[in-house]
Every structure is written in structure tokens, then in C-alpha cells.
Structure 1
């Protein structure tokens, strides 16, 4: 091959590579520019107001089994050591907390393995407070989900659907856990409702009570169907009364201890 031919070949190759790189750069810039737009349906447009959905909790906070969910032991005391430090013993399912798939399955996803993209999502709130006022074991039924969709539009895939029963206002009362004779009684989801939500690719469900299932459930049908499907739940939510039915984004600060079946979480919403 002559030198002139070789030079021309190199020049064409260089021009080809330049066009390829320019095309890649343009495509990359377009992808970056479109990223927030593409993400907009999965995140609520925010005015910046933050609502805390987490109860402060200590040894007196109600638990499903009636035993304290946290214990404090002083390890360092300021007057003696110059700083303060508690040794905490925490039961995973106490306070405002996450139920991971592993909680009700032999080999499900542990709390540290929940994809982070599922912990920041659109929040949809189904209000059953009127039913709960008449029936302490009221449930979110499939009909409630369908009515929500009629009133507010489709529930987006990847959303968290929370039940607002008004129960959070009772948290300092024994009625939060159940009846005066010790029977568990509080609202939750029905299996028919969560089966419907699973078909919509909802990421998680939440309740403002002690359990995803109503207090009088004998078989934990929601726990045994919802969690093993790779989805999570949140129990003992607070602050739902301060949010609209749609339009908020929830941030679930799930703990990240390995092999965890769940754990206390700091949960917030931005609206």
C-alpha cells in the first residue's frame, strides 16, 4: 500500500471514530437529560414538605406479643466517662419497622437485600378510618383498592400502598393493641386486596397498626402471601393523616443488618 493511500486510510478511520464518539456523547447527554423526566412518574413532584411517618419508641411502645421491643443498658455515662453510650437490645419487629420477605419464608430476601430502588417510591394511601371506627378488625378489601383507583387513578408499579385507619392516634392507649380482655384487635389488609396489589407490581404495603393482617387473623394470610413474593411491609406507621391520598414520595430508611428479617426504620414522606 502507498504512503498516500495509508495516510488516507488512517484519516478516514480517525474521522469514523470521531463521529462514533460524538454520537455516543450525544446519546449519553440525552440519556442524562431524560433521566429525571423518565424518573418523574416514579417520584412525586415535591413542594419540599417532609412528614415523619415514624413513631418514637421505647420500652413502653406496644408490640404484637406484648413484650418490650427494646432494652437499654448504660455502657458509658457522661459524669464518669466523659461521653454517653447505650447498649441496646432490639427486637427486629418493634416500633415503626420493616417486614422483609425473609420474615415469613425460609429463604426469602433479607432486609439488607431489599433493592434500594424499592425503598423510595410513590405513596398511595387508602383510607378505611370510617370502617375502622365501627370495626376494630376492619380490613382494606379489594373493593377499597378498586374505589381508590376510581377516585385517584391507577396505582403506579413500584408504589407503596399504605392503609390509613386512624389507629396511630391510639398508640398511647391499650386499645392500640386490642381489647380490654387481651384479644388482639386492629385493622389490616385482606388477602384479596394484597393479591390485587401484587398484580399491579406494588413494591410494599404499610399499616398504621401492629400487623399487616387484622388483629383477629388466625392464619396471617397476608404475611404468608405478600412477603414470600419478594415484597416488603411496614408496620406502625405514623403521620399518614398529614398526607394526601396521592402525590407524596415515601423514603424507607430500612436497616441493613445481614440476615435480618426486618427491623426498625426511619420512614419519611416528601410532598
Structure 2
């Protein structure tokens, strides 16, 4: 998508409103759960192609399914007392810290579980879709214990095991353990401590992906969440996590590891229900400092017509 600075100024207003509210309410603190989106100059004047040798303001490349963001500086609009800076940029919808709208995954007949799947695009999401109480799950201790087997770094499955059969992903037991908190409109937010590996120019070679061996929601965890929704007659708002796609590496890649065969289990089952996903979140460990059950999540998403998702400023407001 191509957006001007003016088009995204609403995000600044959103942040200002949240921060102002926090100052007015004693005992609250705000956490920015968003990675900065690095930008690069256009290559050869082509706004759609980044010149990775020309990063802007120290930008770095990160693992992504598409190209890095391109930012083109436009001529200044001058006045007698100064000038307005202007620019335009191109970036993938699902780049950086971002939200998936339900329309991001469209089921075929074999995977459809409802007669009326949620197929909303970004402009159709309501304000209530984009905020709600946080149900916090912290698996970072288990993840770190597994990483310690390899000097604190991700390794092969034989060394650091983040498969769905391990205890180093979000398990069905993790979901069952918070079942009393699962109500209409909540966001399940999971800290794996994985955002520290969010770096590298290659999707496949990055430790963040680690050969599709990384923590996330196991298939059993998503299945358990759906069972709880049905039993309680509720519908959550969505899931947020510090990995590339909510699903564990194994669930994302599928049993054949080809990314297309029986893959993306939570996407397949969850988005058709109206869940939204916040992916590549940052700073989730800070939510552990909050009073249990006191955090609310706010997603500053653009109301972009026909979009399947988009980079967003994610804010949590908590009580200490």
C-alpha cells in the first residue's frame, strides 16, 4: 500500500489520546508493543523496490514475507516561515507489527466450519474489535529453559524443540488454565520472549523463524480455545504474540513443512470465526509487571478499504 504522512497522522492522535488518559488515571502504565518499521530509499527511483543499501535513520531489515518498506522523500512544501516535509511509502500489509483481519484467510469447503464465515476487511472492523481486556499467558520461562540447551540461541529441533508435542509452545493446558478469564471481546496475549530474535534480512535464515521451529499456538491450544468459546457461548476478539504468525512454527509450516499442506491451523480455524491476530508484537514481557487481569489492548489500525490487515501501533494499558 502507498500512504502519505497525512494518512497515518491518525495513529499519532490515537497514541496521544491513550497516553493522556493514562496520566489522568493514577496507578496505570502504558506499554508500546510495537516494533519500529524500518524504511529504505527507493531503488533507481522505483517506489516499489527498496534499496537495502540505503536505510533511513539506521533502519534494519527484519524477517518478513515481502520486501522491506520503501520511503520516498517528496519535494518540500515551502512557506515564508519554513516548510512542510512530505513523503510516501510502500509496504506489505503483513509487515512488521501488524493485525490480520478475518479476510486474511478465506476457507474452502473442506475447512469451512460455519455457514457464515467472517470475511471482514480492515474498514469493516469496529472500534470494539480493536480493543479489549487482556488475558495474559507467559511461556517465556519454558522457552528460555529450552534455549539454554543451546547457549540461549534457537537451534535445530534436535537441540531446541518447539514442536507441538513439546511443552515449549502454547499448549491446550495453557488455554484451559485461563478458561475462567475467556469472555466476549478479550484478547489472549502470549509472551514467549521471542521478539529479541526479530532481526535478519532472510526469512528462512533468521533465528526468528529458525527453520520453522519456534514457539507459538499449538494446534491443540487453538482447538481448546474454540471448545471453550462454544461451551461458554462467547467470542474472543483475537490473539497477540511475539512471533511471525501466531501459529507455532510446526503449525504454520504444516506436517510436510511446505507451508501449504494442512498448515496455519489457527488461521484456518480462527479467522473464519471473527478472530483477529496481532503478530510480531514487542515488549510483551512488561505485561508481567501488571496487576493480573488489569491490562487492556488497543490496536491503532488504519481503516483501509479492502485490506486484509495492516501495520498497527499496539498499546497496552495496565494497572500496576
The TM-score with structure 2 as length reference comes to 0.62
1:48 lines up with 2:28 in the alignment: yes
Is the Cα contact below 8 Å between 1:168 and 1:208 reproduced in 2?
yes
1:234 lines up with 2:295 in the alignment: no
d(CA) in 2 for partners of 1:228, 1:61? 32
Match of 2:137 in 1: 126
What pairs with 1:108-123 in structure 2 (closer than 5 Å)? 108-123=119-134
Match of 2:196 in 1: 169
Match of 2:265 in 1: 221
The TM-score with structure 1 as length reference comes to 0.73
Question: Which sits farther off after the overlay, 86-95 or 209-218?
Answer: 209-218
CA deviations 1:7-63 (Å, max 9, x no partner) are xxxxxxxxxxxxxxxxxxxxxxxxxxxxxxxxxxxxxx9733111111111143423
Residue 206 (structure 1) shift:
0.7
**Per the alignment, in what secondary structure is the counterpart of residue 143 of structure 2?**
helix
d(CA) in 2 for partners of 1:52, 1:246? 18
d(CA) in 2 for partners of 1:148, 1:46? 28
Of 288, 298, 312, which residue of structure 2 is paired with 1:265?
312
Indicate how the Cα distance of structure 1 residues 46 and 211 shifts in structure 2: closer, same or farther if over 3 A, else same: farther
Aligned residues: CA RMSD: 2.6
Residue 223 (structure 1) shift:
0.8
Of 127, 130, 139, which residue of structure 1 is paired with 2:169?
139
Q: Which runs of 5+ in 1 are unaligned?
A: 1-44
**Per the alignment, in what secondary structure is the counterpart of residue 249 of structure 2?**
coil
Match of 2:212 in 1: 184
Is the Cα contact below 8 Å between 2:194 and 2:208 reproduced in 1?
no
What pairs with 1:183-222 in structure 2 (closer than 5 Å)? 183-198=211-226, 199=229, 200-216=234-250, 217-218=253-254, 219-222=263-266
Is the Cα contact below 8 Å between 2:135 and 2:178 reproduced in 1?
no
Q: How many residues align?
A: 220
Is the Cα contact below 8 Å between 2:67 and 2:91 reproduced in 1?
no
Higher strand share: 2
d(CA) in 2 for partners of 1:263, 1:195? 26
**Per the alignment, in what secondary structure is the counterpart of residue 82 of structure 1?**
strand
Is the Cα contact below 8 Å between 1:64 and 1:177 reproduced in 2?
no
Higher helix share: 1
Is the Cα contact below 8 Å between 1:69 and 1:95 reproduced in 2?
no
1:72 lines up with 2:99 in the alignment: no
**Per the alignment, in what secondary structure is the counterpart of residue 94 of structure 2?**
coil
